[in-house]
């Protein structure tokens, strides 16, 4: 499949700066090289897979999951040696293998404990398996600090014990000689040193013949002579033999260890591939987090809408100088595929065009883009640009000749899945002739069904866009009162270049401006004035709309506050009423008890003197108890009803059942059946499923669109 863009487009849109930015986040060389070679693709299925896989990693990062830290070194040399008979991997090489094996095991454990949550990321490890044997074999030879253990082999144990004993003997002999010579005052200020890994005495050169031993040179000034004590000469010679034996035994151990783990060469190679993939993906993820990028919804057809889209390079440079960057909203589809942007110079036309182009190039290179998460995106077969004053020095072409050649190329290759980015369309030649040719080019590109974002000052291009069904005008907003650009894009009408207004702002005197107007065609001046007035009216309407929305918001806030206060006072009133009722009840009960007390007969000696009173008290208590229980049950029933109502409302809100109306697309809960609502009645709907129409209760439906 051919490339999605050419070299010039990548340069025009400054994608090389994104690549350089991205390269800062890689760990190892291979991923860095992959980043350098990253280019837009038109393999749509692979692109969608790569973007979703990247988004899974971003989800892990922003959800503060305990994802293993990506810390490894490449294993190219080690993998090569594992496949060569009798080869020996170095100590550092085994450390790298151990590190990689441990990291892959942690990755596998991470995904095993989150089964099916990140299926696309798990696929990176499809050729890997959890393995403890590799590191067990390495840990039998190496300690935690990466040094070879004394007991890595019986022979090494013996050699190192002998080295230790011999070293102690050498040091004891040296200390004895040192103490003796210190008494004789024949050593230098620095009494000892090491030469050729042998411990030597620093003897004043005038006394060197008084010390028996091997001379190992002298100081730069010649004032000191370095002498190895005679008693240690044979011991140091033996030490060299032992150290050589140690080196040979270590070499044999490493050779055997290389052979032992060579059976795992394919698995270790799979570890290497997986870690490089994670390195490459992690760099993309870190870039996405830095530029606050997301994965928009992906459409299969050519239909995109970038909401709150930022030019990432511009936003980064603006943030360094504490300057605000305005986001843009750009929408294009089959019915609106040729977008002509006009407006004043330095008003942001080129940046808006480049924002569309750069974000599309990034997306088709498998990168997330800085837009609102509600944005929609699609893929193009080709993304081509003609931006700036490019010249072909190689072929001795002028800017205009070069642009004509680019246009000729665009006319040859453009189709319904081509996105063209044409800045200052038609410029570079005589304005009238260039404008006429540009208009013809515009029509030809339109016939090709191509998508295009075009910036221009030519009125005929603006008029042509207005007359074609699938073309649209847009403009960069300009504050006609302050005579400053707003850097905001609006679709629906062409914009004035505000040539004379900007000239006046920059100090050009009125007679010169009026003289310039006199040289122009009267219709052109009227058209520019009309566009100017339209822009002013639009600014005025926008201000009114903003004020209206703010007033609506304030009214809504006041309404909410009123409801909250009303509920607060109603709750207080209920609470107070409850307290009053409780007090009244207690008062009534107290009065009744006083009546019982008055009736109680203390004087009578008859056993059943108060029997009737006690029966009356018992009946009263039963009645009151019964009332209390009934009230409690009523309260419980009321609470349960409220819970059911709230749960029902919540369910309806989750399923958006309140949005269902005639023409809505709905799904029956628990099934895959999707239909269209034909009639809406009080308790049920009539829904068309294929050729059948059935009645379904609202609660059994989910609103789709």
Give 534 or 698, the one with higher predicted confidence.
698
Looking up residue 445, the CATH number of its domain turns out to be 3.40.50.300
Most confident of 74-78, 176-180, 484-488: 74-78
pLDDT for 631 equals 77
Per-residue three-class SS string for 482-493 = CCEEEEEEEECC
Examine the pLDDT at 352 and tell me if it is beyond 50. Answer: yes
DSSP codes joined into one string, 591-659? HHHHHHHHH--SS---TTTTHHHHHHHHHHHHHHHHHHHHHHHHHHHHHHHHHHHHHHHHHHHHTTGGG
Confidence of residue 40 (pLDDT cuts 50, 70, 90): very high
Backbone CA torsion sign across 98, 100, 101, 107? positive
For residues 446 and 590, which has the higher predicted lDDT (pLDDT)? 446
Q: In this structure, what CATH number is given to the domain that contains residue 170?
A: 1.10.1420
Distance CA 102, CA 97 (A): 8
Query: Are residues 556 and 435 part of one domain?
Result: no
Residues 108 and 144 in one domain: yes
pTM (predicted TM-score): 0.69
Judgement on whether residues 161 and 138 belong to the same structural domain of the protein: no
* Residue 423 covered by a domain: yes
What 3-state DSSP class applies to 523?
A: helix
pLDDT at 648: 61
User: Up-side HSE of residue 643: CA atoms within 13 Å toward CB?
Assistant: 6
* Cα 655-659-660 angle, rounded to 5 deg: 90
Q: What is the predicted pLDDT for the residue at 482?
A: 65
Q: Are residues 301 and 344 in the same domain?
A: yes
**Residues 387-446: pLDDT tens digits?**
865 544 444 456 667 778 888 899 999 999 999 999 887 666 556 676 788 888 899 999
Average pLDDT over residues 192-219: 85
Residue 610 counted as domain residue: no
Identify the pLDDT of residue 348: 77
Q: Which domain holds residue 698?
A: 657-703
39-43, 284-288, 386-390, 531-535: least confidently modelled range: 531-535
Residues 54 and 131 in one domain: yes
Residue 472 lies inside a defined structural domain of this protein: yes
Does residue 598 fall inside a structural domain?
Answer: no
Residue 633 domain-assigned?
Answer: no
Mean of pLDDT over the chain: 84
pLDDT confidence of residue 396 = 42
Q: 427 and 307, same structural domain? A: yes
Of 257-261, 341-345, 459-463, where does the model show the most confidence?
A: 257-261
User: Of 248, 282, 311, which one is at a domain's C-terminal end?
Assistant: 248
Give the pLDDT band (50/70/90) at residue 190: confident
In tens, the pLDDT along 515-524 reads: 766 665 555 5
First to last CA, the chain: 37
Decide: 635 and 672 in contact? Cβ < 8 Å: no
Could you tell me if 356 and 380 lie in one domain? yes
Percent of the chain with pLDDT over 70: 83
| Domain termination residue (choose one: 248, 280, 306) | 248
What strands lie across the sheet with 328-332, from one edge to the other? 297-298, 376-377, 304-309, 328-332
- Residue 250 confidence (pLDDT) above 70: yes
Residue 612, in any domain of the structure: no
Do 315 and 384 lie in a common domain?
yes
| Residue 589: per-residue pLDDT | 77
Domain presence at residue 303: yes
**Are residues 463 and 553 located together in one domain of the fold?**
no
pLDDT bracket for residue 227 (50, 70, 90): confident
340 and 450, same domain (yes or no): yes
Kindly indicate the confidence band of residue 76, based on its pLDDT and cuts at 50, 70 and 90. Answer: very high
pLDDT at 392: 44
> If you average pLDDT over residues 361-376, what whole number do you get?
95
Q: Which of 497, 529, 556 is the last residue of a domain?
A: 497
**CATH code, 696:** 2.30.30
Q: Looking at the structure, do residues 560 and 699 belong to the same domain, yes or no?
A: no
Question: For the chain, how many structural domains are there in total?
Answer: 5
What pLDDT, on the 0 to 100 scale, is given for residue 644?
A: 66
pLDDT at 419: 96
Q: Are residues 38 and 163 in the same domain?
A: no
* pLDDT confidence bin for 267, thresholds 50/70/90: very high
Q: Tell me the pLDDT tens digit for each residue of 566-587.
A: 888 888 887 888 788 778 777 8
DSSP of 202-228 = EEEGGGGGGS-EEEEEE-TTSSEEEEE
pLDDT digits (tens, 9 = 90+) for 290-347: 999 999 999 999 999 999 999 999 999 999 999 999 999 999 998 999 999 987 766 6
Token representation of residue 221: 């000034």
Distance CA 16, CA 14 (A): 5
CB atoms within 10 A of CB 520: 12
Is residue 550's pLDDT more than 80?
A: no
Q: Is the predicted pLDDT of residue 123 greater than 80, yes or no?
A: yes
pLDDT digits (tens, 9 = 90+) for 140-170: 999 999 999 999 999 999 999 999 999 999 9
DSSP reduced 3-state for 252: helix
Q: Note the pLDDT of residue 240.
A: 92
Asked, for residue 406, whether it belongs to a domain, the answer is yes
User: How confident is residue 61, by pLDDT bands cut at 50, 70 and 90?
Assistant: very high
The pLDDT value given to residue 238: 93
Residue with tokens 């050419």: 6
Q: Would you state the pLDDT for residue 1?
A: 45
Tell me the Ramachandran region of residue 387: left when phi exceeds 0, alpha when psi lies from -120 to 50, beta otherwise. Answer: beta
Question: Other C-beta atoms within 10 Å of 400: how many?
Answer: 16
Query: Could you tell me which of 11, 32, 9 has the C-alpha nearest to residue 22?
Result: 32
pLDDT, mean of residues 223-245: 91
Q: In what order do the strands lie in the sheet with 451-455?
A: 382-386, 418-422, 451-455, 338-342, 471-479, 484-491
* 494 has a pLDDT exceeding 70: no
């Amino acid at each position: 499949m051919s490339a999605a863009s050419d070299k010039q487009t990548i340069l025009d849109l400054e994608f090389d700066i994104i690549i350089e930015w991205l390269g800062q986040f890689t760990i190892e060389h291979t991923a860095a090289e992959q980043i350098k070679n990253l280019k837009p693709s038109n393999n749509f299925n692979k692109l969608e897979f790569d973007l979703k896989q990247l988004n899974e990693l971003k989800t892990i990062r922003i959800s503060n999951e305990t994802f293993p830290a990506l810390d490894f070194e490449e294993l190219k040399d080690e993998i090569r040696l594992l496949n060569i008979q009798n080869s020996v991997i170095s100590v550092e090489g085994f450390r790298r293998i151990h590190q990689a094996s441990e990291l892959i095991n942690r990755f596998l454990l991470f995904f095993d404990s989150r089964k099916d949550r990140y299926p696309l990321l798990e696929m990176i490890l499809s050729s890997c398996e959890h393995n403890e044997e590799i590191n067990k074999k390495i840990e039998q030879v190496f300690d935690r600090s990466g040094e070879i253990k004394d007991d890595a082999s019986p022979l090494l144990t013996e050699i190192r014990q002998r080295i230790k004993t011999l070293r102690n003997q050498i040091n004891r002999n040296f200390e004895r000689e040192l103490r003796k010579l210190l008494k004789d005052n024949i050593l230098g200020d620095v009494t000892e040193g090491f030469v050729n890994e042998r411990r030597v005495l620093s003897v004043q050169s005038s006394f060197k013949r008084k010390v028996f031993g091997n001379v190992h040179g002298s100081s730069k000034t010649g004032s000191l002579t370095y002498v190895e004590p005679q008693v240690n000469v044979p011991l140091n010679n033996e030490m060299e033999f032992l150290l050589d034996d140690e080196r040979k035994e270590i070499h044999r151990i490493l050779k055997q260890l290389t052979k032992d783990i060579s059976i795992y060469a394919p698995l270790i190679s799979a570890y290497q591939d997986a870690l490089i993939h994670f390195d490459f993906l992690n760099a993309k993820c870190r870039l996405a987090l830095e530029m606050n990028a997301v994965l928009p919804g992906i459409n299969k057809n050519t239909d995109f809408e970038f909401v709150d889209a930022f030019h990432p390079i511009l936003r980064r440079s603006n943030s360094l100088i504490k300057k605000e960057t305005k986001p843009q909203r750009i929408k294009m589809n089959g019915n609106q595929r040729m977008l002509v942007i006009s407006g004043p110079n330095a008003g942001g036309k080129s940046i808006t065009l480049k924002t569309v182009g750069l974000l599309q190039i990034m997306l088709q290179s498998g990168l997330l883009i800085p837009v609102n998460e509600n944005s929609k995106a699609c893929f193009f077969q080709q993304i081509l640009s003609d931006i700036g004053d490019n010249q072909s020095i190689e072929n001795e072409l002028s800017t205009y000749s070069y642009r004509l050649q680019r246009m000729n190329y665009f006319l040859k290759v453009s189709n319904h899945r081509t996105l063209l980015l044409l800045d200052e369309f038609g410029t570079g030649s005589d304005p009238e002739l260039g404008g006429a040719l540009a208009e013809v080019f515009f029509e030809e590109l339109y016939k090709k069904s191509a998508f295009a974002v075009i910036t221009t000052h030519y009125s005929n291009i603006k008029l042509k866009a207005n007359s074609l069904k699938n073309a649209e005008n847009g403009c960069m907003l300009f504050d006609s009162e302050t005579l400053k650009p707003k850097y905001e894009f609006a679709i629906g009408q062409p914009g004035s270049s505000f040539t004379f207004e900007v000239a006046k702002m920059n100090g050009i005197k009125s007679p010169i401006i009026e003289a310039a107007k006199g040289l122009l065609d009267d219709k052109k001046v009227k058209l520019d004035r009309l566009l100017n007035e339209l822009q002013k009216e639009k600014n005025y309407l926008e201000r009114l709309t903003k004020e209206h929305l703010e007033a609506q918001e304030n009214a809504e806030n006041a309404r909410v506050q009123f409801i909250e206060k009303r509920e607060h006072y109603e709750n207080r009133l209920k609470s107070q009423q409850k307290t009053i009722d409780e007090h009244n009840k207690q008062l009534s009960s107290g009065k009744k008890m006083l009546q019982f007390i008055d009736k109680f007969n203390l004087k009578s000696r008859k056993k059943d003197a108060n029997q009737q009173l006690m029966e009356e008290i018992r009946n009263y208590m039963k009645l009151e108890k019964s009332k209390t229980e009934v009230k409690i049950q009523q309260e419980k029933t009321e609470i349960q009803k409220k819970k059911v109502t709230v749960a029902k409302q919540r369910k309806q809100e989750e399923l958006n059942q309140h949005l269902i109306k005639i023409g809505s697309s709905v799904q029956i809960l628990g099934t895959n059946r999707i239909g269209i609502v034909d009639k809406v009645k009080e308790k049920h709907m009539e829904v068309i499923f294929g050729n059948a129409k059935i009645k379904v209760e609202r609660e059994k439906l989910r609103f789709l669109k």
